[in-house]
Structure 1
Amino acid sequence: MPSARMAMSERFDAWIGIDWSGAKGRYSGIALAECRADGSGPRLIAPEGARWTRSAVADYLGGRIAAGERLLAGFDFAFGFPWIAGEGYLAKRVPHIADAFALWELIEQASDDAPDFHAGSLVTHPDFADSYWVSGKQKPDWRNDKRLTETECGAATSTYPETVFKLIGAKQVGKAALAGIRTLRAIRLAAPAHVAVWPFEDADKPTVLAEIYPTLFRRQALGSTAKIKDRATLDNALAALGSGPAQDAPASFSDHDGDALISAAGLRWLGRTGNLFTLPEEAEAQARREGWIVGV
């Protein structure tokens, strides 16, 4: 009988790392890379047009899912919001929202059908507005609420992942999360029998969508959180994750490409170590409500 580790390593046809963007209009921050089960190094996935958009990512993954491929797709954004005992989501303002998928539906409704899965007018919606810091100086009553996985990941990497409620400054992640959640929702609804979103659902369907934090893979591989932008550094990191060198990567590339490439290899490496879909026992209930970064 094959070991659990071997079974997990053979479970997927491809591991896909996705560096994300929540920007509006014309943007170029999305990158995709994949590793295959044969142990070869990751390769960048080129867009059909000039750049990846969120809609193009959803269509691309949907096509591969429809073709019967078994994929683990890791997305670099928060899959949910903080959930606080006695308050639920959004500081008691949505007591009828009891789980992550109901929260997704609220986000979709409040986004006012904005194109390309952008957040649209959500941040001015009465259910959401008071939670967000969108401009000017920080308001005295603004709460820097974070998910448990963000605090645990920060401790593991000596970094400080931002709250999804901060929509100002260079390190903001909230817009990416909002646009990403809308994208995930569309991918899941297009093929519900074939797609699971972990950890809101058990990872028991052919394709699994999971949350990643590329910094975690860089820290694991190189002991550093510095961005990877050149082939030599990347191949050293890949070797530490049991991967062959990157395929067809140029001598230098953007940090978005670097994050996608290291994430694809990192996901495959986690599968081989048996730590892909594990949750700390004491954190499981919280993770099922908020989401969890794989590998934390």
Structure 2
Amino acid sequence: MTGFDSFAMVDWSGGNDTGPRPRKDAIWACVVRNGRAEEPTYFRNREIAEQWLCDLIASEVATGRRLCLGFDFPFGYPRGFANALTGSDDPMQLWEWFERRIEDTPKANNRFDLAGEINRRFGGKGPFWFNGLQRSIDGLPKDKSDYQNPFPERRVVELAPETKGSFSCWQMGGAGAVGGQVMTGLPVLTRLRRAFAGKVSVWPFEVLDKPVAFVEIWPSLTLGAGPDGRIKDAWQVEQIALSLAAMPVEDLANQLNVTAPEEGWILGVSQRKPDIAPPPLRNDCFALPAGVNWTPVDDALALLRERLTVIAPAETEPLAQAAGRIVAEDIVARRSNPPQPNTAVDGYGFAGAAPEGAQVMPLHPGRAAAGIPFDGTVPEGHALRVLTGAALPTGVDTVILEEDVNLQDNHIAFHGPLKHGANTRRAGEDVAEGDLVLIAGRRLTPADLALLSATGIAEVSVRKTLRVAVLSTGDELVEPGEIAGPGQIFDANRPMLLSLINRMGFYPVDMGRVVDDREALRDCLNAAAKQADVILTSGGASAGDEDHVSALLREVGAMQEWRIALKPGRPLALGLWDGTPVFGLPGNPVAAMVCALIFARPALGLMAGEGWQEPQGFDLPAAFEKRKKPGRREYLRARVRDGRAEVFASEGSGRISGLSWAEGLVEIEDGARHIKPGDAVRFIPYGSFGL
């Protein structure tokens, strides 16, 4: 296949004649030759557009220019539909089937009736839906309340991440309806193929070895709203034609190298899913630089941030099930918010500003309400009753509050001045179609779900929830509720860490307690590695005789013991068990919680896909006095009262009550410090760690 000499892109419409003046939601086309775009052309109806296309193809063929001609509607239906109607999977036979049955004039066509006729062949409840006419049609419902589709809802290409927000070809009317475009567009393409027999190839159904190639495009794949003052459809066909004309021949050939014999495909959507996964963590990912055996907190954090990678794969979830999940890729608005200009108040709408002084206007019959638009045009000099959230009808761009109006004898009276556009909202003034609304790595909040829903996002690509196994080690531990013998203590770490993991938004996996037996611990670690993405242990992280966690990690050659310069919680064992990262926390509950917050929390977030999260701290006056020697960073259990940071009375690392008493930590830097009441200290609330 050689390259193309000219490119023409068409934005189609299944509606009626749109009149002589160029407008949106109509048919637009643009031609690019030699890298230069002609002025986009407006067509008021399909009859005129078809003649223009016929003339364009004839001109390009006659002059020997190879033409790439793109249309923004599907060339095929989901699998099985063509065969059900024609007895063949060949989409060209389906094209001809529609061409024989569609009756189309500039003022009307029979697409809704044909959809009802097709539905009746399959039980009368689908696959098509949305009757856009005032009269009822047997077999074609107004909505999807009793809808049943015997075929797939979407084509394979419409399930790709790039095409989120595309509309189904089964929808015959309403915003974004594609069904009407397909039914009125395919007959035109069929007649063009017939008129230029042997000159046209249809992608991706045929080899592109003819002078003209028909290809399917979707402008919203790469483009959003156009510049101010330009009609979006006109701008989009121009930009697509220019981008294809500027594309290297080899790159375009790669995009056209697609196999989709029945359903068709959208140009620009890759069929090749990258065979890529996060790289495995190397056994030396936790290794300290040569000669380093005493690690400052900032250095330890920097090493974790540098060495760790995302290990949670992506999956697509419905919006309703995505709360608290981590966004896997940037999300772009599929629809503007508001989608149309609308009124911000209950009142009366009219066109233009109102000058100073008394104003009296006749009231036009009808009203506009949210979800119930006014069907018609408000005459100049007249007002219409409008309710909050209603789309502004044609002839309305300004609204006066109902509290400022007197109503009598079918007229309204009010005092000006009132500026043009008062009490209205512009389309897209919050978010415009194509805007970046959320970036990859964000953990979805309830407010995010509202934003995504309002901008047309029905499902999102999110990271699978990171599974974190928690196990406690030590002969001295017993479960709360059991009888503790001499020298035994209740396991406080495991319930604390499991709750921490859950509150942080990860999935806790309870691996229970393990006695000080190396083989039992080995079995538990093996089980944890199969069930979780990361393992947290408490106890056994030092180098003593009973510190089996660090001993086993050393045995498999994947362990580093970081002696962190902090108080509390000096030893931190880091390693890999069967490729699964292991964080060996200190056994002391206070040290275990501090190390979990300071080190494990940002590391888990990075591996989960939300990036490295720095806890947000605040400088507050101290309500205490403390002298600190240089060398170690210290974290004191603290809370805020009357705008001042208080610290727990004892710094003893065994005082668990201080964790419960506290609302966060006071961080004291590595150097020497003498803190007096009123001095500024950095307070980090527990909430900054996601608790």
| Shared fold (TM-score, shorter chain, > 0.5) | yes
| 1:106 corresponding residue in structure 2 | 97
Read off the aligned partner of 1:109 and give its amino acid letter: R
Percent identity for Structure 1 against Structure 2 = 28
Aligned residues: 240
- Quick one: distance in 2 between partners of 1:125 and 1:97? 19
Aligned pair 1:163/2:168, yes or no?
yes
Q: Distance in 2 between matches of 1:268 and 1:149?
A: 24
2:74 pairs, out of 78, 86, 90, with: 78
Counterpart of 1:33 in 2: which secondary structure?
A: strand
Q: Are 1:134 and 2:130 an aligned pair?
A: yes
**Secondary structure, aligned partner of 1:34:** strand
Change (3 A) 1:15 1:140: same
Q: Aligned AA for 2:220?
A: T
Measure, in 1, the Cα distance between the counterparts of 2:49 and 2:99: 18
- In 1, distance between residues paired with 2:18 and 2:246? 34
**Alignment map for 1:1-296 (pairs within 5 Å):** 8=2, 11-26=3-18, 29-37=26-34, 39-40=35-36, 42-46=37-41, 51-67=43-59, 68=61, 69-83=65-79, 88-89=80-81, 93-94=84-85, 96-111=87-102, 113-115=103-105, 118-120=109-111, 121-126=113-118, 127=121, 130-135=126-131, 136-143=142-149, 145-152=153-160, 155-157=161-163, 159-218=164-223, 226-230=224-228, 252-270=229-247, 272=249, 273-274=251-252, 275-279=254-258, 284=259, 287-296=260-269
Q: Please give the per-residue CA displacement for 1:83-142, whole angstroms capped at 9, x wherever unaligned.
A: 1xxxx216x74361321011112212332x333594543212244863111243313443
Whole-angstrom distance in 2 between the partners of 1:139 and 1:270: 45
Question: Does the 8 A contact of 2:129 with 2:147 survive in 1?
Answer: no
Task: Tell me the TM-score normalized by structure 2.
Answer: 0.33
Higher helix share: 1
Residue 130 of structure 2 contacts residue 174 of structure 2 at CA under 8 Å; is this kept in 1?
A: no
Please state whether the residue corresponding to 2:7 is helix, strand or coil.
Answer: strand
> Secondary structure of 1:115's match?
coil
The structure whose RCO (Cα within 8 Å, separation 6+) is larger is 1
TM-score relative to the length of structure 1: 0.73
8 A contact 2:130–2:143 mirrored in 1:
no
* Structural RMSD (CA): 2.5
- For residue 267 of structure 1, report the CA deviation from its aligned partner: 2.4
Q: How many angstroms does 1:203 deviate by?
A: 1.1
Bigger radius of gyration = 2
What amino acid maps onto 2:208 in structure 1?
A: A
Take 2:248 and 2:51, find their aligned partners in 1: how far apart are those partners? 26
Structure 1 unmatched ranges of 5 or more: 1-6, 219-225, 231-251
Q: Which amino acid aligns with 1:147?
A: R
Distance in structure 2 (CA, Å) of the matches to 1:178 and 1:229: 31
CA deviation map 1:274-294 (0-9, x unaligned): 334121xxxx2xx11111111
In structure 2, the gaps of 5 or more residues are: 132-141, 270-691
Deviations 1:41-75 (A, max 9, x none): x232435xxx3432222222222322324211111
The answer on whether the counterparts of 1:217 and 1:262 sit within 8 Å (CA) in structure 2 is no
Distance 1:125 1:105 in 2: 17
- SS of 2:244's equivalent in the other structure is helix
- What is the CA–CA distance in structure 2 between the aligned matches of 1:80 and 1:271, rounded to whole Å? 28
